[in-house]
Copies of this chain bind each other. A is one copy, B any other.
Amino acid sequence: MAKPNVLIIGAGGVAQVAAHKVAQRADDFGEIHMANRTRAKADAIVQSIRDKGHAVAERIATHTLDGMDSAAVAALIRQTGARIVINVGSPFINMTVLQGCIDTGAAYIDTAIHEDPAKICEAAPWYANYEWKRREDCENSGVTAILGAGFDPGVVNAYARLAEDEYFDKIDEIDIVDINAGNHGRYFATNFDPEINFREFTGKVITWQGGKWQENAMFEVGREWDLPVVGKRTAYLSGHDEIHSLAARYPQADVRFWMGFGDHYINVFTVLKNLGLLSEHPVKTAEGLEVVPLKVVKAVLPDPASLAAGYTGKTCIGDLVKGSRDGKQGEVFIYNVADHEEAFAEVGSQGISYTAGVPPVAAAVLIARGDWDVKRMVNVEDLPARPFLELLGEMGLPTRIIDENGDRPL
């Protein structure tokens, strides 16, 4: 069987990592294409691949694409003959890119839930508002759609599935903990698009506990964690995509997400939020100009891609899963540690982009191999975890496990 052509959509920090990883794994794919609203940004990524000495860079074609236009997406898929689309653009384009895949039969991979720019924090489960409404279309068209295949969501969903497959016959609690102990040296910056980053924390915090959706305010619930490598860190109960699919597979379990924040981040966030500067609703200046405050905040903050050079320190992201097997209670912590400087040396990106950008390429490789080419819409926990986690180990995101037998590689 011919190796499938692949189309990467987007040209931000995560797309840069994904493109480098596709280039590294070029043998698994046919032609490689990249498309973005601003084509020059895709060209810059190709140049960075060339700079790392990958001859395959000469074979990567770039295209201009408005990802909000599903007909344009379908046309580009047909033009490029892409059989796998890695959508690592803004989450605002998910549904139009997915539609383009459904219309052409290409496989679809993304790393975050679709968002409507005008809405924050819709009814749970979030996947049901958009992606899951296309489940039947995917089934009918035999389209493989793997949702949320970044790190969180993505790898952390596979960690939960690994606990199900290899540790417990009943899962009681899934606590996903995301700590970035890195230092970018700026007064303040977000690690990915500020608009998307802040949107995660301006709404209410939705978690799945006690068999139902629970609501809290951001920074209302904090807990100190003591994790490998990064040590003691305070993380706060936060809303996050993966809760909205894991709750469907593990309805009997409490599913929570904890994001690490320093006091400085919380202070800046709190000031901006209380002043109304994180609002997505336009305000009018005294001069009559209509402007969305959040977009101005984004404009004054450092470009997340600019943080990569000189970013030091490590991230630790993992799942603390509690459950029982044959009635015996137990717990396991399944995790990855990534290093900002190593990520930069390898692909020119910081560690947050690295952890998010490698997994969708691993998913693409598994589709190309046929292992994950399931011809329907799934979340990552719906598929066997081992092949994915083992491939991620080869690709730079090794899994480690702490249980009663100690701390060791998968």
Contact = CB atoms under 8 A, between A and B. Distances in A.
Interface of A: 187-188, 267-268, 271-272, 274-277, 279, 283-287, 289, 291-293, 295-301
B283 A187 contact: no
24 contacts: A187-B275, A188-B271, A188-B274, A267-B267, A267-B271, A271-B271, A271-B272, A276-B300, A277-B277, A277-B300, A279-B300, A283-B296, A283-B299, A285-B291, A285-B292, A285-B295, A285-B298, A285-B299, A289-B289, A289-B291, A289-B295, A291-B291, A293-B296, A296-B296
Nearest to A269: B271
Residue among A188, A277, A287, A293 with the highest chain B CB neighbour number at 10 A = A277
A297 B287 CA distance: 13
Given A271-B267, A271-B272, A277-B277, A293 B300 contact: yes
A248 to B, nearest CB: 34
A271 B293 CA distance: 15
A283 B300 contact: yes
Contacts of A188: 271, 274-275
Nearest to A274: B187
Nearest to A188: B275
Given A289-B295, A296-B296, 16 more contacts: A187-B274, A187-B275, A267-B271, A268-B271, A271-B271, A277-B296, A277-B297, A277-B300, A279-B300, A283-B299, A283-B300, A285-B296, A286-B295, A289-B289, A289-B291, A291-B296
Contacts of A279: 300
Residue among A289, A296, A300 with the highest chain B CB neighbour number at 10 A = A296
Contacts of A275: 187-188, 268, 272, 297, 300-301
A72 B164 CA distance: 79
**Nearest 9 CB-CB pairings of A with B:** A276-B300, A283-B299, A285-B295, A271-B271, A187-B274, A296-B296, A285-B299, A291-B291, A268-B271
A196 to B, nearest CB: 12
Contacts of A187: 274-275
Nearest to A300: B276
Nearest to A271: B271
Residue among A187, A287, A292, A300 with the highest chain B CB neighbour number at 10 A = A300
B271 A299 contact: no
A164 to B, nearest CB: 41
A284 B299 contact: yes
Contacts of A272: 271, 275
Contacts of A274: 187-188
Contacts of A268: 271, 275
Contacts of A296: 277, 283, 285, 291, 293, 296
A308 B245 CA distance: 50
Contacts of A271: 188, 267-268, 271-272
A287 B289 CA distance: 14
Residue among A284, A291, A293, A295 with the highest chain B CB neighbour number at 10 A = A291
Given A271-B268, A277-B277, A291-B291, A286 B300 contact: no
